């Protein structure tokens, strides 16, 4: 155990024990939540540093506190790496997380009451894309578009163009938390242009896959603003990034600070810089390719076993299972059954779900975390088989115990980055 952990264990054994327990949980189970990942040991090292002591309100060269020699350097490096990796004219690396990055972006370019076109929540959009329960949903007029169930979830871009003409949005937003297909960014750009709106993409889920060059970058199709979290497929600390045109740079920066946030988390920004460097290395491109290959293998194995997938498959890292149609179980029950055998997934609404979000019809899974641990296509097929057995026999306690043991044994082959073996 390192010195910091020894000190923690000696001084706060309750918290130290809970952290050790979480390490064990992560080591002994298979993580399929598509928005999670295992970060790098180097990122954990950067997070646990004295940078957490420092107030750095403002931006490099323009701070409200003294003593910024090293923090300015760190933020400059992080911004430069973000710009280079995503081919962006400007980057803001201060958003504390994904929700804050989207809020700052909206508040930079919209007035209260302005109209935004965004994907419906049950079709894959995110809470911050105007869900009625979110503050953003109350502040702006979100008009929701849907996906087409009978066309593998494709978006009807002609219909969307029509919707834009009728509703005159100031912002056309695309991006998702639970949509397994690729988007046509050029079509979104044309729709925004047709009504003089800005085009924004929230690539929170697929930021790592865009950085790896295995999915398309909306900035290459002329988007004005792109936001991404750093902690999902990008494998970094919990944080957000805003990438934008130079003409929007001042508005975006002012919106993040002082508009929305106070002091940036400099330990996180250092960890973000480390992540962005890793993401620019050739090994990260291989990682991105494997995330996609694993998602294909998982989808094929599940479909082969008769499981119903929303849109019928996937183009990215995530899959949405209709567990009611496939197993007669709601998403909450399916999540609990899988938990029992050491597979972590999360319940999920399906398009126009007749059920409530806490007991929805589906389950969302993805491959970024399992791929980080070194799992490959054969492993995905094994995982699919465990899932299907458990979900077909949710009340067979002896079977679940046996599957849990198999999962635990399997996981020993795949060390957890940054955590010593048991």
Ligand X SMILES: Cc1ncc(COP(=O)(O)O)c(C=O)c1O
For ligand X, the binding residues (CB under 6 A) are 35, 97-99, 102, 126, 128, 175-177, 202, 204-205, 229
- Catalytic residue selected from 83, 238, 381, 392: 238
- Catalytic residue selected from 81, 189, 232, 373: 232
Q: Is 238 designated active site? A: yes
Give the nearer residue to ligand X in terms of CB position, either 229 or 255.
229
Distance CA 170, CA 109 (A): 8
DSSP 214: S
Largest CA distance in the chain: 64
Q: Is 377 designated active site? A: no
Give the nearer residue to ligand X in terms of CB position, either 115 or 346.
346
Give the nearer residue to ligand X in terms of CB position, either 96 or 404.
96
Half-sphere exposure at residue 420, Cβ-oriented, CA atoms within 13 angstroms: 5
Kindly give, in sequence order, each residue whose CB lies less than 8 Å from that of residue 294, ignoring residues fewer than 6 positions away.
367, 370, 371, 375, 376, 377, 379, 380
| Residue 297 beta carbon to ligand X: minimum distance, rounded to whole angstroms | 23
Length of the chain: 422
- Catalytic residue selected from 39, 128, 147, 229: 229
Distance CA 391, CA 396 (A): 10
DSSP three-state, residue 346: strand
Q: Is 55 designated active site? A: yes
Kindly give, in sequence order, each residue whose CB lies less than 8 Å from that of residue 43, ignoring residues fewer than 6 positions away.
235, 236, 237, 271, 274, 275, 418
Distance CA 381, CA 110 (A): 46
| Residue 241 beta carbon to ligand X: minimum distance, rounded to whole angstroms | 11
- Catalytic residue selected from 23, 28, 42, 55: 55
| Residue 96 beta carbon to ligand X: minimum distance, rounded to whole angstroms | 8
Residue of minimal Cβ distance to ligand X: 98
Token duo for residue 147: 């996906």
Q: Is 335 designated active site? A: no
Q: Is 376 designated active site? A: no
| Residue 400 beta carbon to ligand X: minimum distance, rounded to whole angstroms | 29
| Residue 346 beta carbon to ligand X: minimum distance, rounded to whole angstroms | 10
Which residues in 231-247 are b (16+ Cβ under 10 Å) and which e? bbbbbbbbbbbbbbbee
Give the nearer residue to ligand X in terms of CB position, either 35 or 326.
35
- Catalytic residue selected from 31, 202, 330, 353: 202
Q: List phi, psi (to 5°) of 173.
A: -110, 135
Give the nearer residue to ligand X in terms of CB position, either 195 or 291.
291
Q: Is 156 designated active site? A: no
- Catalytic residue selected from 23, 36, 57, 76: 57
Query: Are the CB atoms for 57 and 262 separated by under 8 Å?
Result: yes
Distance CA 407, CA 422 (A): 16
| Residue 265 beta carbon to ligand X: minimum distance, rounded to whole angstroms | 13
Give the nearer residue to ligand X in terms of CB position, either 169 or 175.
175
Among residues 281, 213, 268, the alpha carbon closest in space to that of 241 is found at 268
Place of tokens 């999670």: 36
Give the nearer residue to ligand X in terms of CB position, either 77 or 174.
174
Among residues 104, 27, 295, 176, the alpha carbon closest in space to that of 91 is found at 104
| Residue 230 beta carbon to ligand X: minimum distance, rounded to whole angstroms | 9
Catalytic residues: 55, 57, 202, 229, 232, 238
């Amino acid at each position: 155990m390192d010195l910091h952990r020894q000190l923690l264990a000696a001084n706060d054994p309750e918290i130290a024990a809970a952290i050790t327990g979480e390490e064990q949980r992560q080591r002994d189970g298979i993580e399929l939540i598509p928005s999670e990942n295992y970060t790098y040991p180097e990122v954990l090292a950067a997070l646990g540093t004295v940078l957490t002591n420092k107030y750095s309100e403002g931006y490099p060269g323009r701070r409200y506190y003294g003593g910024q020699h090293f923090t300015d350097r760190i933020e400059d490096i992080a911004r430069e790496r973000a710009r280079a990796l995503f081919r962006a004219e400007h980057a803001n690396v201060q958003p504390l997380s994904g929700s804050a990055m989207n809020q700052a972006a909206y508040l930079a370019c919209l007035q209260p009451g302005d109209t935004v076109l965004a994907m419906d929540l049950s079709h894959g959009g995110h809470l911050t894309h105007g869900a009625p329960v979110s503050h953003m949903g109350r502040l702006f007029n979100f008009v929701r578009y849907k996906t087409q169930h009978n066309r593998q979830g494709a978006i009807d871009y002609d219909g969307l163009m029509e919707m834009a003409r009728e509703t005159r949005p100031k912002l056309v937003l695309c991006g998702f938390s639970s949509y397994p297909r690729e988007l046509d960014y050029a079509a979104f750009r044309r729709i925004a242009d047709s009504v003089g709106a800005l085009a924004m993409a929230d690539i929170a889920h697929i930021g790592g896959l865009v950085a790896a060059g295995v999915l398309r970058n909306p900035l290459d199709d002329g988007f004005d603003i792109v936001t991404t979290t750093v902690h999902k497929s990008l494998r970094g600390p919990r944080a957000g990034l805003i990438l934008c045109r130079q003409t929007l740079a001042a508005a975006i920066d002012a919106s993040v600070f002082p508009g929305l946030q106070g002091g940036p988390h400099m330990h996180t920004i250092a960890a973000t810089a480390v992540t962005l460097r890793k993401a620019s290395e050739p090994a990260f491109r291989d990682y991105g390719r494997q995330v996609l290959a694993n998602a294909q293998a998982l989808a094929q194995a599940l479909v082969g076993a008769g499981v119903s997938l929303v849109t019928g498959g996937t183009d990215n890292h995530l899959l949405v299972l209709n567990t009611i149609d496939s197993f007669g179980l709601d998403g909450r029950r399916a999540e609990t059954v899988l938990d029992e055998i050491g597979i972590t997934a999360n319940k999920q609404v399906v398009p126009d779900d007749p059920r409530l979000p806490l007991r929805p019809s589906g389950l969302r899974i993805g491959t970024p975390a399992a791929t980080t641990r070194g799992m490959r296509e054969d492993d995905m097929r094994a995982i699919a088989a465990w899932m299907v057995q458990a979900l077909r026999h949710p009340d067979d306690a002896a079977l679940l115990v046996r599957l849990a043991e198999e999962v635990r044994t399997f996981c020993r082959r795949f060390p957890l980055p940054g955590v010593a073996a048991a």
